[in-house]
Structure 1
Amino acid sequence: MAMWQTKEAMTDLLCEMVRIPSISGSQAEKDFPELIIKKLSEMDYFLQHPDDLQQLFAEDGRSLVSAFVRAPEPTAKTVILFSHFDVVDIKDFGKWQDSAFEVKALTQQFYREMDRLPQSVREDLASGHWLFGRGSMDMKSGLAVHLSLLEMASQGTFSGNLLFISVPDEEANSVGMRAAVPHLLQLKNKYNLDYRVALNSEPMFSLYPGDDHHYIYTGSIGKIMPGFLCCGKETHVGEPFSGLNSNLMASLVTAEIELNTDLCDQDEGKPAPPPTNLIQKGLKSGYSVQTPHHSVTLFNLFLLERSIAELSELLLRKATSAARKIEALYHDEAEKYAKRTGSSASHQTVRVQTFDQLIHEAERSLGKEKVAQMIDAWINQYRSMDDRGLSILIVDQLAAYCNTLAPMIILFYAPPFYPAVQSHHHQRIQATVKKIQDHAQNVYRTKLIEQHYFSGISDLSYIGVPANRSSMDQLRGNMPLWNHGYSIPFTEIEALSVPVLNLGPVGRDPHQWTERLDVDFAFGPLKELLIDGIHELFKD
C-alpha cells in the first residue's frame, strides 16, 4: 500500500516531520533520523533489503540516513537525493513560538490574526494553499518529496537506482554532509555506481524583494568567512595617544569590507551578494580603564569563480587600505591634540599579515612543537565554544605571544567553508534542465529560469564539481581549526565530483517567522517535474 503518493499523505508527513523541533545542535536533531529509519523500515523493499537502509554517525554523535533502492534490472546508474532535516531556531516567532512547529495550528492562528501580518503574508494566506511553520519550506517539504520518490523507486518506477541521503547540521557546519562524503565514495566503489547527479530540493530563493519567479539551479554558491584580528596597543584612557584602540581598528576594517562591491565575485557578469559582517567585538574581558587592544571583525563572503588565493590577495589589499586609514586618522588627531597641548605628536604604523605568517612568527619564537601543544590545549580547554569563537581565540592567543609585532591586522578564515560548485556546462544537466523547463511550461504554464548558482548555500558544495579547482593551501594555512576539529574531505570530493542540480518547492521568507510553503506546488507540479527529470537522467 502506498504511503506518500497523494498530496494529503505528503502534507501529513510534512506536518509530522516539522513537529520534531530538530534545531541544529539540539537533542531533537539527534533524534530525528529515528523517525525516517522507522518509516522506511516498514517499506516492503527495506524489509527485503535491510542492509540498504543505514543510520551513519558523524564524529559528534549526530547521524544521517542512507537508503539505497536498486532498479528492477541491475544497473550502475544512480541518482542521489539530498536533503537536510535540521532547522534554525524559533526565537524570531515571538508570541507564536509555541506553535512554530505545528504547521496546521500556526496557519490557523495566522488566519485568525491576519490583520497583524505583513501584506505579502496576508495575500498568500488568502490564496488558501500556503502552510506556515519552521522547516515547512527549508527543507522538510523537499525531504517529504524525496521520501515519496524513494517509495516510487521501491515499486520499480525508475530504470536506475535512487540513493536517499538526509543529513543533520546543514544550517550550521555541515557535519552531516562532510560525514556523508566518504560513505558515498565507499558505495560508489563497492557497487561500481555511476552517480548521474546529486539532486537537492532546497526551496527556491528570491533574488530580490517581491521576486515571484521560479528557478532551477545548476550549481551552489560558495561561502567563506574571513576574519580580521586587530591588535592595537593598550593604554590608560587618560592617555589615549599613547596606544591604539583596537575597536577603532576593527571599525575601519569593517567600513572597508562591509557591502564592498569590489569584493563581489561574478559569474558571466552576474555578481554574488556583497560581503556583510556577522561578528564585530572587542576581546577585552571585564571592565577597566585600559583601552581595548584586541578586537575582531568577521564576515560572510560568497564565492563563485574566484580562487582562495585571489580572494586572499584582495582581502589583504582591503586590510592594507584600512591600515593606512587608521594611521592617517591617528596622525591627524594626534597632530591636532599636540598643537592644543603644546606637546609632540606620536605616530603609529599598522602592519598587515595572515594567520599563516603569524603562526610562523610564533614558531620562530616558541618552537613548532610548543605552538602545536598550545593550540591543542586551548581547543581542549574551550571545546564548548563554537568554531567561530574557537578560531578567534586561537588567533587572539597567538597574537598575544607576538605582541611586539603590534599594531597589526591579521587575516584568518573561520569555519564553515563551502566550495562553489557548478554543472551548467554539463551536457546531461543541460538536457535534463531543458526537459524539466519544457514540462513546466507546457503542462503547468510555469516558466523555470535556470540559475547557475543556488544562492541559499547548500551541502551540494561537498559533492559537486568545483567551480575553481585551484589549490586550497591558502585556506588550510589560514584556518586556525584546520585539522584541529574541522576539515573537509577534499580528496574524496574530488574523487566524486558529481554533477549537481537543485529543484525545490516555492516558499517565502526562509529563516523568518513568516516562513511558509506553497503546498499545492510542492506536492503537485514539483514532484512531477522531479519524476520527469529523474527519467531523463537515466537515459543513454
Structure 2
Amino acid sequence: MMECRDDVLDLTRKLVGIQSIVKTEGEKAIAHYLYTLLSSFPYFTSNPEHVTIEQTINDELERYNVLAFVKGTKTASNRTVILMGHMDTVGVDDFNQLHEYAFLPDEWMAMLQHEDIPASVREQLQSGDWLFGRGALDMKSGLASHIYLLKYYAEHPEELAGNLVFVAECDEEDGSHGILSALKMLKRWQEEHRFDYVAAVNSDFVSPRSEEDANRYVYKGVGGKLLPSFLITGAETHVGDVFDGLDPNFIAAELTKQINYNPELCDEALGEITVPPVALKQADLKPTYTVQTALSAYVYYNFFIHSWSPKDVLEKLKEQAHMAFTNALDTFKERYRRFCDISHQPYKEIPWQPRVFLYEEMEQLLIETHGDAFIQHMDHFKQELLNDDTLDTRMFAARVVEEAWKWMADKSPAIFVFYSSLYSPRFELSGKTENEQILIDALEHAVKSVQPNYDHPIALRNFFPYISDASFMALSDDTAGIAAIEHNNPAWGTKHYVDYQDVRDIDVPVVNIGPYGMDGHKRLERVEMTYSFEIVPNMTNMVIQRVLHETSAK
C-alpha cells in the first residue's frame, strides 16, 4: 500500500482553496494553477511537451483543460490508462453570508463546531477523519488522488509498463465543454504517440444509497442522462370564458402527473435500476400579465437511462404525452359538464383531440408543406436568436419550437416532444471485449486486495448513478440512438453541438473509483479521508498496474 494520505490531503486542501465555481473566472484560475504545478515536476521540466493547458472549443466562455502524460519505461508498450477528473464546483449560495468559508476547510470546520448540525454530522466533524468544504468531495479529492499517482509515475517511470494520461477538465457541472474539448487532444496524442487507450478511471464522488448503507461503491460503467422537453400549445381564451379555450398549463400539469416519479419510466439493466424522471422546469411562456390564458407552456424532466437509447426514450415519452393529453381532455370535459349543470348553460362538445409530435415529425411536416421558405426562415431565426445571451440551450430550443409552430396550418392544441440539452451517454461495462474484461478483472482484484485494510465494505456496482464526464469516454448507443438526439434537438448545430464521433474514436472502457462522502452540492459537503486519501489512490494504482501488466504481456 502506498503511503499517500498526507500528500493527497495537502493537495486537496490547496485545490479546495481555489474558488473554481463553474462559469466563473475561478475555472481559469484552477486550470492555470494545475498547469503550473505539473510543469514544476522534474519529469515535465525535462519533457515540457508532455503537459499542456488547452482552451475549450465551441465554448461561450474562456476556460481551460489541463492534460499531461508519462511514458513508462518498464516495458515498451503503447497501452495507456487515462486518469480523469473535473476541476469545477457548483456554487456556494447555500452558504449564504458565510460563502467565503466554503473554500477554507479548517476555518469552516471550526465554525461548524458552534453550529446546530445533525448529531451524525457532528460525530464525523469531531472524528478527525472528515474534511468539509465546497469541492472537498465533488471532486477535488478525487482529482488530488490522480495528481498524486501522476507525480509518482513521473518520478518512477521505470515502474510503469505502458503510459499514463491525466485529464483535468472544466465545466463538468454545467455543459461538459471541458471533456468534449479534451477528446480532441486525446485523439491527437493517440495519433502522435501511438497511445492505445485500454482503460479510463474517473474519480467522481460516491455516497451511501440510503441512511443505513455502509458500503463504499466502485462503479463499472456509467448511466446516461437526458433532458426530454415538451412545448405545449393551448387554445387562448379570456378568463371570463374559461371553457372556450384550453389552458396549456392544465395539460402540462397532467403531463407532470403522468411522468414525475413514474416507476414505469425506470430503466433496468444488469440488475440495477434508474431513479424515475422528475421535472426540472414547468412554466407557461407568457411574457407579461394579461387576462388571457397562456398560449404555450414548457416542461422538461431529468431522465436517467441504463439500457434505453435516446430514440427509445422519445418513443416512450410520446406515448406518455398522448396518455396525459387524453386524461387532461377527459377531465376538462367532465368539469365542463358539471359547470354547465350547476350554471344551467348548454353543453357544447369540445373541438380538440390529443395531438403529440416529435420535433422531427413536426419539422418534416413543415418542410413538406412550405419547402425552402420554412427552412430559410428557421435558419435565419436561429441565427438571430443566438444574439440573445439570456437564453440557455433549453430556452433556445423552446423558442425554436415555438417559432416553428407558427407555421403549422392546424393551430389546435398540441404537445411537441424534443431534447433541449446535452445528452450524457450511458456506457455498460459488460466484458464484451478483451479490454473490458481485463478492466473488470483488475477492478475486482483491486477491491479484494485493499478490503483487508479498510473497515467498511467496498462494493461493486454497474452504473455510476449521477451525471459524469465519464459518459464521454465510450458509447453503448448505436447510430440510430445518436441520430434521435441530432434530429430532435432544435438547438442542434447552432446553440448546441456534440461530436459524438470523437467519443466513438476514443472508445475506452471506463470505471469510477472515487472519494467517499456525503452531501455533495450541499452546505455540509464532506469527504471521509481514510477511504478517499488512502484507499482510493491505492485501488486506482492497482488497476493501472494490472491493466498495463495484463495488456503488455499479450
TM-score norm. by structure 1 comes to 0.95
Give the corresponding residue for 2:26: 28
CA distance in 2, matches of 1:219, 1:289: 52
Give the corresponding residue for 1:377: 384
1:81-160 correspondence to structure 2 within 5 Å: 81-113=83-115, 116-156=116-156, 157-160=159-162
Most deviating of 271-280 and 202-211: 202-211
Question: Displacement of 1:165 after TM fit?
Answer: 0.4
Which letter does structure 2 place at the counterpart of 1:342? Answer: Q
Question: Displacement of 1:485 after TM fit?
Answer: 3.0
Most deviating of 8-17 and 283-292: 8-17
Question: Displacement of 1:302 after TM fit?
Answer: 0.3
CA distance in 2, matches of 1:104, 1:511: 19
Task: Decide whether aligned partners of structure 1 residues 456 and 218 sit closer, same or farther in structure 2, where only a CA change above 3 A counts.
Answer: same
Mind listing any 5+ residue stretches in structure 2 that lack a counterpart?
none
Give the corresponding residue for 2:44: 46
CA distance in 1, matches of 2:160, 2:101: 39
Deviation digits for residues 216-258 of structure 1, max 9, x if unmatched? 1110110000011110011111111111111111111111100
Most deviating of 200-209 and 172-181: 200-209
Give the corresponding residue for 1:436: 446
CA distance in 1, matches of 2:493, 2:93: 33
Question: Displacement of 1:442 after TM fit?
Answer: 2.9
SS in 2 for 1:457: coil
Q: Which of 313, 318, 342 pairs up with 2:320? A: 318
Task: Decide whether aligned partners of structure 1 residues 477 and 213 sit closer, same or farther in structure 2, where only a CA change above 3 A counts.
Answer: same
Which letter does structure 1 place at the counterpart of 2:71? Answer: R
Give the corresponding residue for 2:534: 524
Which letter does structure 2 place at the counterpart of 1:516? Answer: R
Give the corresponding residue for 1:232: 234
SS in 1 for 2:228: strand
Q: Which of 504, 508, 523 pairs up with 1:498? A: 508
Deviation digits for residues 132-183 of structure 1, max 9, x if unmatched? 1110000000111111100011012422211000111101110111111122
Give the corresponding residue for 1:512: 522
Deviation digits for residues 479-531 of structure 1, max 9, x if unmatched? 11111132222212112210111111111111111110112222222212222
Task: Decide whether aligned partners of structure 1 residues 98 and 210 sit closer, same or farther in structure 2, where only a CA change above 3 A counts.
Answer: farther
Question: Displacement of 1:199 after TM fit?
Answer: 0.6
Task: Decide whether aligned partners of structure 1 residues 234 and 101 sit closer, same or farther in structure 2, where only a CA change above 3 A counts.
Answer: same
Give the corresponding residue for 2:165: 163
SS in 1 for 2:496: coil
CA distance in 2, matches of 1:269, 1:33: 39
Which letter does structure 2 place at the counterpart of 1:486? Answer: H
**Share of identical aligned residues, percent?**
28
Q: Does the Cα contact within 8 Å between 2:3 and 2:534 map onto a contact in 1?
A: no
Q: Does the Cα contact within 8 Å between 2:7 and 2:148 map onto a contact in 1?
A: no
SS in 2 for 1:234: coil
CA distance in 2, matches of 1:10, 1:496: 29
Q: Does the Cα contact within 8 Å between 2:65 and 2:178 map onto a contact in 1?
A: yes
Question: Displacement of 1:428 after TM fit?
Answer: 0.5
Which letter does structure 2 place at the counterpart of 1:14? Answer: T
Question: Displacement of 1:315 after TM fit?
Answer: 0.4
SS in 2 for 1:405: coil
Q: Which of 379, 403, 413 pairs up with 1:407? A: 413
1:183-198 correspondence to structure 2 within 5 Å: 183-198=185-200
Give the corresponding residue for 2:222: 220
CA distance in 2, matches of 1:311, 1:289: 37
Question: Displacement of 1:264 after TM fit?
Answer: 0.5
Give the corresponding residue for 2:361: 357
Question: Displacement of 1:43 after TM fit?
Answer: 0.7
SS in 1 for 2:136: coil
Q: Does the Cα contact within 8 Å between 1:153 and 1:161 map onto a contact in 2?
A: no
Most deviating of 160-169 and 262-271: 262-271
Which letter does structure 2 place at the counterpart of 1:511? Answer: H
SS in 2 for 1:411: strand
CA RMSD of aligned residues (A): 1.8
Question: Displacement of 1:467 after TM fit?
Answer: 6.0
1:388-403 correspondence to structure 2 within 5 Å: 388-402=394-408
CA distance in 2, matches of 1:362, 1:62: 39
CA distance in 2, matches of 1:96, 1:356: 48
Give the corresponding residue for 2:10: 12
CA distance in 2, matches of 1:324, 1:488: 36
Which letter does structure 1 place at the counterpart of 2:144? Answer: A
Q: Which of 267, 270, 275 pairs up with 1:265? A: 267
CA distance in 2, matches of 1:485, 1:58: 16
Most deviating of 368-377 and 164-173: 368-377
